[in-house]
Amino acid sequence: MSIVSRVFAALLAPLVAVVAALVITSLVVMLVGGSPVEFWGIIFSRPADRVFVNIVNQSSMIFLSALAAAIGFRMNLFNIGVEGQYTVASYAAAVFAGAALLPGKLNILVSLLIAMAVGALWAGIAGVLKVTRGVSEVISTIMLNAIGTTLAGYLLLNYGQQYGSGRRTTPLERSSEFTGWFPFTNADGAVWTLVILAVLAGVGFNVLLNRTRFGFDLRATGMSETAAVASGVDVKKMVVIAMMLSGAVAGLIWMPALFNGAHYYGPTFQAGLGFTGIAVALLGRNRPLGIMFGALLFAFLNEQSNRLTLETDISPNVVQITQGVIVLAVVIAYEVVRRWRATAEQKAVTRKLEEARPTGGEAVSA
């Protein structure tokens, strides 16, 4: 295929998906008697400075979550359990950080390590169950989500300190907090310092997968397990390591918020990021760059939709439908485009063969 048709084919799927999401969301808005023009006008208006900051902060967490899911997906491991992993890890890290056993910033560093370790262990359960007992990781991680959320809730209820009508972990000491970076006025809020974690994790992901032997093994296992085994990959070991790596990244998801604004694990804990991450990973084709765009898009939609409450009768929840449709449309579009390309390539090869064939070609085919 020519360069033009290659670029066209690569961009076709996301374009189709975005158009589908626009059309379906417009229909849903019209269904409830709203005006799509007004709706999209609000969504695509220039975000306020404050909203800009929120979009950056939120997308860093969504990015980490999607990256965690993507590590598994690249190996055909469906880690649906990011939600449970980051809940348990966030609670553990918040408890440790709140206890202030270590001074200042060292406390933060060790807390991050604890979050990664706890996330890795929680995901590791599913990995070990898979390789030793043949339990599907889809089911075990779904179960571990529920267990993890309940466990964190139980621990918080019994060992947390009373705070309003709920409970929370001991808040961080001032020395273990980040102030963040203020791109606009102070009133517009700060970009969290640990947004840098998302950047580091993205770069690390790329290097690990594309520049190391481990990454090669991981991708090989994902593409063809039998081929990987034949080339000497210990698939069982890879499953456990990939799962734990995925869990370790999942453990970091909520850390930017914890050390910059949340200060404790309690009623303000942002749940649900694990499932958003899965959607964004699918949207970004499990590549860091794609995931970054996906995370920004999701955070953008979430933050801009808040204006709907003030200015229209349309519920902001409509963007959840948009997000779901984008994901579904993207995977469908990629599947269709992949098949279309396969057929096109096959035809091209056949044509080339026909051209190359000398007049007495029957002899070759016979």
Partner 1 sequence: MSTVQMQREGTQAGRVGPSYTWVWLTLGVLLAISTVRTLTGAHEIDSSGSLQAAIIATCPILMAAIGGLWSERSGVVNIGLEGQMILGTWGAGYFTYYYGPWQGILGAALLGAVGGLIHAIATVTFGVDHIVSGVAINIIGLGAAKFLAEAYFADLSSDRGTGGVKQLVGLERPPSFTVPGVSEWTTDIASRHWFVVSDLAAVVAALTTRMSWVTLLVFALVALTAWLLWRTSFGLRLRSCGENPQAAESLGVNVYRYKYIAVLVSGAFAGIGGGYLALVASSGFVTGQTNGRGFIGLAAMIFGNWRPGGILAGASMFGYTDSLPLRSTATIHALLLVIAIGLFAFAVFKLLRGDRGTAVVVAVFGGLFLLWFLVTKEVPRDFTSMTPYIATLLVLAFASQRLRMPAADGQIYRKGSAG
Interface positions with partner 1 (CB under 8 A) = 28, 32, 78, 80, 129, 133-136, 138-140, 142-144, 146-147, 150-151, 153-154, 157-158, 275, 278-279, 282, 314-315, 317-321, 323-325, 327-328, 331-332, 335-336
Of 121 and 147, CB closest to partner 1: 147
> What DSSP string describes 108-134?
HHHHHHHHHHHHHHHHHHHHHHHHHH-
Check residue 134 and give left, alpha or beta (phi > 0: left; psi -120 to 50: alpha).
left
**Least distance in angstroms from the C-beta of 138 to partner 1:** 6
**Least distance in angstroms from the C-beta of 290 to partner 1:** 15
Of 106 and 139, CB closest to partner 1: 139
Q: Tokens for 258? A: 């914890």
| Residue (of 286, 272, 323, 312) closest to 71 by Cα position | 286
**Least distance in angstroms from the C-beta of 156 to partner 1:** 10
200, amino acid identity: L
User: Do the Cβ atoms of 237 and 52 come closer than 8 Å?
Assistant: no
**What is the three-class DSSP state of 89?**
helix
Of 111 and 322, CB closest to partner 1: 322
**Least distance in angstroms from the C-beta of 59 to partner 1:** 17
Of 5 and 150, CB closest to partner 1: 150
Partner residues linked to 292 by β-bridges: none
Distance CA 21, CA 356 (A): 45
Of 57 and 79, CB closest to partner 1: 79
Distance CA 317, CA 39 (A): 13
CB under 8 Å to 267, separation ≥6 — which residues? 163, 164, 166, 168
| Residue (of 124, 135, 127, 109) closest to 194 by Cα position | 109
**Least distance in angstroms from the C-beta of 143 to partner 1:** 4
**Least distance in angstroms from the C-beta of 78 to partner 1:** 5
**What is the three-class DSSP state of 160?**
coil
Residue 132's CB is within 10 A of a number of other CB atoms, namely 10
**Least distance in angstroms from the C-beta of 90 to partner 1:** 18
Of 131 and 235, CB closest to partner 1: 131
Give backbone dihedrals phi and psi of 35, rounded to 5 degrees, phi first. -100, 120
Of 47 and 153, CB closest to partner 1: 153
